[in-house]
Structure 1
């Protein structure tokens, strides 16, 4: 495998440098020499949790409102990861997930937890409710095969930032809460509550302690959680009894290579050789919450993260007894299969009558749905932007557009920006829209357009280019100042086609491919 190394700034004005390895133009942490470089995945994989089952490691992450939800990834060495499945194919408990009667932005899966017991995989998460009278609910998804299918059970109880735990005596618990931490006992199948929650910890010295995951090591119970939010640090609670009392210790307090954003919240796992490792996230602003891999050293019965109290940058890979191929989660897509690639998620439950990978072989066909603007368009197809630099490019055939259609490609969050072909009165125009304001309009008589969106962590901006021949690109519009209007959800590349008129819903756009690579 051919490798490339780039020196990149981690912050505008920062003097911290890191060697970046790439595979097929995409960042990979595996340096090919027995070492890895953090972050593990330079994109938005928040609230990580991990387990080991035999020779495989399994990773789960939060995905908020995106559908399918709760992504599950797999690795053989904790460094090279591939997408495996989603624990939630869609959300059926509220019509707003179908954009009926409102929207479901920021709902969905929060703070995922993954465990394995007696031949079954379990993924749990909470879904906060924006209503003050309805706190939300808790879900457990189960599968015999981590590739799925998964079955979801929704609890009436709400358990914030849950950590599922199977004790060695056969009992099942969930650790949950924020600042005030609770233990709730579940029934043996982990699909209903047996004993109501009991408060086990409440210490103002660690405000907003959350994201707790539970372990039992040498007869003692450990809860690993974070405090301080995005600037946070990782705290470990320890007790001889699951219901406490718990003593606390800070196990890492380091902003690593990204000043002001501490390593916080994640999961711990033991290897076959007895060593322990921890995957912990770090906020990288609008690009997302990226996972870092940290060694664990046990000191006086406490799991201390990192190397001498600091998060590692380049470090020796975990010893799993073998060397495994360099693998990264898929990004680029030729749309030449009948099944949607696992790199893609919709902004809400998709209208399956409005998209197809088979009507035109080798193309993703997006049929227009009625919407006044992009944030109200249901079938917006997205995937993560990548850091520290990335560019996504699409080829789009707009022959099938109808009056009122707006079909294109951009960077989606609040605010968002995009380049699209708009059709009015039978005439097409290329438009650049930023924060719902049309910045540029160019007459267009063709039927095929190439659009590129480029993202950088320096200043968190996105810029846009277009081409009418697929070779010569030119800038269009202005910069998007990427932000987090949808809290804790990173910016994403987005493909879309919506119609501002009812008559235009018969229109369609055909996307030939999406290609992602480093933008330098």
Structure 2
């Protein structure tokens, strides 16, 4: 298999590809290669199922295989798991004919756990529990076959991956630059005659960075690269920010590549990112035995490089399969008795647990928002309850358009503010609900400009959109809400039983910037 492309002397690849390579909330990427195939895992936080596993043949075009933690016995997220709690930063590796996944569930009763599989699409094993503290665990095997786990701190301990038992005393390895905050996301590699320790530092916000050190063995001693940090966008006027938490992989042709997280802030100051932290790709060359990271290029105007393309998901899910597609995620759990594809064949049936999206146990099924502008719509039958279509960041930050009892309401939750933005009477029977997310045009900049606008309302059978409310998108951004997640778009049941015939998600490639001032509530 050819590599995606090789890096030119200025750091640009000689083929053009689209960044981010995995859009939407896919943070903390960890990658490994087996033959001609690449596999990648990401954090999933409070969502179930957890830890998406993606496959690629070229590092550019990725397809979701499934979720590693797709059974309650693997992933327990109790109701008191806070938003942005749950599953943090996995490491995915292939060793001795088997895939190994190590991650930390920071929810109550969680901890650092190992999972294994012979097929990355699953099934994955039951958890092998370890006593390893902290987050961001990494796995590396030395020449003697010993397994080392390095974790945020940056500390390391020897681990038996088959039992989860550690041996010896944990030791501090290297903590990055002087006074740098949050040394984390370690990955350890044997490359040539050196062992390289790659870490993130500076925090996962605008100060995020990647640094590297090398030593004679997995335990060091480590000398830092004189060019550290080898990647950061802090202080730069660049459309991609917060770059860090990286992993290295070598292509079959010998070229090296880095996957990393970043965000795409929009609007005025300080800039608001709404999709969460996404996965980006950069070329890596070597100079004097140190990795040199090329430019993390933004989305290009030219077409994406076409090798090994993956078919785009169909915009509509008709809910006519035996199981939900793995792109669908729920908040903390998804009990079979509350979420069914067989109760009314061809419809998704949800039963309420909790009165609204504010409730930690709301029955919500959604998918990551992966485009700056997009449209979502659904046909809903709320004859036996109330439910609707929502844009969710967390319990305290969400917008929804909800139907039931012959009425459609648009509701707003922004921190302590709860408001009904609009109400409309509708005829009895199924109703089409729609949400448009329209990214603000970047050239029309002013200091307080919002990142996007969210329009919520009812759609007629001919596609006419009756917009009931238009809301400022900044209140569903990480810079306002805090945390580590991005937006999820989906359907929910707030009371009784609600059925959904289909769900559409379609990107809007370009849209004009609306002239009226956005509102939070009327």
Is 2:114 the partner of 1:118?
A: no
- Residue number in structure 2 paired with 1:460: 451
SS in 1 for 2:47: coil
Which residue, out of 174, 177, 181, partners 2:149? 174
Equivalent residues of 2:374, 2:505 under 8 A apart: no
Are 2:258 and 1:287 equivalent residues in the alignment? Answer: no
Q: Deviations over 1:147-203 (max 9, x none)?
A: 1111122223323211211223201111111xx311111115363323342111245
- Secondary structure at 2:397 match in 1: coil
How many angstroms does 1:323 deviate by?
3.5
Partner of 1:15: none
Q: Secondary structure at the match of 2:324?
A: coil
Question: Residue in 1 aligned with 2:469?
Answer: 477
Partner residue in 2 for 1:220: 194
| Residue pair 2:376, 2:503 contacting (<8 A) in 1 also | no
1:345 paired with 2:321, answer: no
Q: 1:139 to 1:514 in 2, by over 3 A?
A: same
Question: How far 1:390 sits from its partner (Å)?
Answer: 1.7
Shift of 1:344: 0.6
> What does residue 395 of structure 1 align with?
379
For the 8 Å contact 1:289–1:490, the answer to whether it is kept is yes
For the 8 Å contact 1:36–1:315, the answer to whether it is kept is no
C-alpha distance in structure 2 between counterparts of 1:166 and 1:331, whole Å: 42
> Quick one: distance in 1 between partners of 2:274 and 2:255?
34
| Aligned mates of 1:370, 1:410 — CA distance in 2 | 15
| Residue of structure 2 in register with 1:45 after alignment | 26
2:168 aligns with 195
Query: Which residue is equivalent to 1:359?
Result: 343
Show CA shifts across 1:96-118 (max 9, x none): x353xx34533321011100111
- Picking from 117, 123, 126, the partner of 1:143 is 117
CA distance in 2, matches of 1:253, 1:55: 30
Match of 1:185 in 2: 158
Query: 1:65 is matched with which residue: 25, 46, 62?
Result: 46
Equivalence map 1:418-429=2 (5 Å): 418-423=400-405, 428-429=406-407
Deviations 1:428-450 (A, max 9, x none): 21000011322212122231222
Give me the whole-angstrom Cα distance separating, in 1, the residues matched to 2:303 and 2:190: 25
User: How does 1:3-402 map onto structure 2 within 5 Å?
Assistant: 34-92=15-73, 97-99=77-79, 102-129=80-107, 137-151=111-125, 152-177=127-152, 180-187=153-160, 189=162, 191-202=164-175, 204-229=178-203, 230-231=205-206, 232-249=208-225, 250=228, 251-254=230-233, 258=238, 261-284=241-264, 285-307=273-295, 311=297, 314=300, 323-328=307-312, 332-371=316-355, 373-399=357-383, 401=384
Q: 5+ residue gaps in structure 2?
A: 1-12, 265-272, 441-449, 512-522
Shift, 1:378, TM fit: 3.0
Work out the CA distance in 2 between the residues paired with 1:354 and 1:35.
45
Secondary structure in structure 2 of the residue aligned to 1:376: coil
Separation in structure 2 between the aligned mates of residue 146 and residue 366 of structure 1, nearest angstrom: 30
**Deviation per CA, 1:374-413, whole angstroms, max 9, x where unpaired?**
43343210111123212212121223x2xxx321001001
Q: 1:228 to 1:336 in 2, by over 3 A?
A: same
Classify 1:94/1:36 alpha carbon distance in 2 versus 1 (closer, same or farther; 3 Å): closer
Preserved contact between residue 140 and residue 191 of structure 1 (Cα < 8 Å)? yes
Q: How far apart are the structure 1 equivalents of 2:508 and 2:467? A: 18
**Displacement, 1:242?**
1.7
User: TM-score under structure 2 normalisation?
Assistant: 0.82
The aligned counterpart of 1:24 is: none
Instruction: Kindly indicate whether the alpha-carbon contact (under 8 Å) linking 1:126 and 1:161 is maintained by their aligned counterparts in 2.
Output: yes
C-alpha contact 1:172 1:190 (8 A) present in aligned 2: no
Please tell me whether the aligned partners of residues 20 and 298 of structure 2 are also in contact (alpha carbons under 8 angstroms). no
Indicate if the aligned counterparts of 2:38 and 2:56 stay in contact, CA closer than 8 A: yes
Alignment partner for residue 498 of structure 2, among 494, 499, 508? 508
**What is the deviation of 1:286?**
2.0
C-alpha displacement of 1:80 = 0.7
Aligned length: 462
- Distance in 1 (CA, whole Å) between partners of 2:122 and 2:373 is 33
Counterpart Cα distance in 2 of 1:264 and 1:39: 13
Shift in alpha-carbon separation, 1:223–1:312, aligned structure 2, 3 A: farther
Given that residues 245 and 260 in structure 2 are in contact (C-alpha distance below 8 angstroms), is that contact kept between their aligned partners in structure 1? yes
CA contact (8 A) 1:281 1:291 kept: yes
User: How many angstroms apart in 1 are the aligned matches of 2:248 and 2:312?
Assistant: 21
The 1-side partners of 2:462 and 2:493 are apart by: 20
Work out which of the residue numbers 482, 487, 493 in structure 2 matches 1:491: 487
3-state SS of the aligned residue for 1:487? Answer: coil
Question: Is the alpha carbon distance of 1:88 and 1:352 closer, same or farther for their aligned partners in structure 2, counting shifts above 3 Å?
Answer: same
Shift in Å, 1:259: 5.1
Of stretches 353-362 and 60-69 in structure 1, the one that deviates more from structure 2 is: 353-362
Q: Which range is displaced more, 224-233 or 336-345?
A: 224-233
- Aligned CA distance change for structure 1 residues 331 and 293 (closer, same or farther; 3 Å): farther
Following superposition, the deviation at residue 354 of structure 1 comes to 1.3
- The aligned counterpart of 2:519 is none
For the aligned residues, what is the CA RMSD?
Answer: 2.8
